[in-house]
Amino acid sequence: MSDTQRVAIVTGAAGGIGRALVKGLLDAGIRVAAVDRTRDGLVVIAGTAREQGKDAALLTIEADLSHEVAISDVVGQAHSHFGAIDILVNNAGIGQATLRPGNWQQPLRFWEVTADQWRQFIAVHTTAPLLLAQTVVPGMIERKWGRIVNVTTSLGTMIRSGSPTYGPSKAALEAFSAIMAKDLDGTGGCRMRPKGSPAGAFWRCIGIPPWHRRRRPRRPAPRWPGPASRRCRSSPPAVNNRTATAPSVRLAAE
């Protein structure tokens, strides 16, 4: 990062991941607009920042991102308070348990989901990231610097029984993240990082190691047919572990 103090918008800021993101960004000297629909959670964040003497670098915004009108208000408040937006972290989410508290014991089936429930999950997990990105990206491209981070989930959660609204809406955000990275590649505003390269500076500044550096147990290599199949001269197919090792926090564009 340059010596210019950056400005970030973090949605879903009052939750566990959101609070860690806000704290890490503030610790790195980045000014943060923390967005959440939970007022009590925002009060806690503000109190923590005040205790650390960083309240001037924090703006809390109470907003429900399931309503499209909230998008322009969030960006407008952040821009008015801090100036241009350099970093967007789409972390806001709705848990499946909000529809059925005992979802683990009695999984919600897709035929039990109402149209309004479906629309709410899509609005927060997919539409809000789209609209927020559309609002801040032109400025990032103009300044030739910007970062967008979309928080998704694992493949197992996307297709798990009992997640008929959460899984598909997060899967849509995962696909959208890949498209965003391709569209932004070459614009000069945001640079796409290949899967194997460090997501480094951002994750270190928020105190979370990049996903590709986390220790994972080694998996045994798949067995290839022995001598009985040697008459087949073709090479063994490549094993693609991308799905198995897909990160739960995806760097959409950097």
DSSP track, 15-79: SHHHHHHHHHHHHTT-EEEEEES-HHHHHHHHHHHHHTT-GGGEEEEE--TTSTHHHHHHHHHHH
Residue 175: pLDDT band (50, 70, 90) is: very high
Record the pTM: 0.74
CATH number for the domain whose boundaries are 7-212+232-253:
3.40.50.720
Mean pLDDT of the chain: 79
Tell me what percent of the residues of the chain surpass a pLDDT of 90. 56
177 touches 254 (CB < 8 A): no
Structural domain boundaries of the chain? 7-212+232-253
Which has the higher per-residue pLDDT, 225 or 186?
186
Closest to 79 measured CA to CA, from 101, 53, 61: 61
Report the pLDDT value the prediction gives residue 68, as an integer from 0 to 100. 94
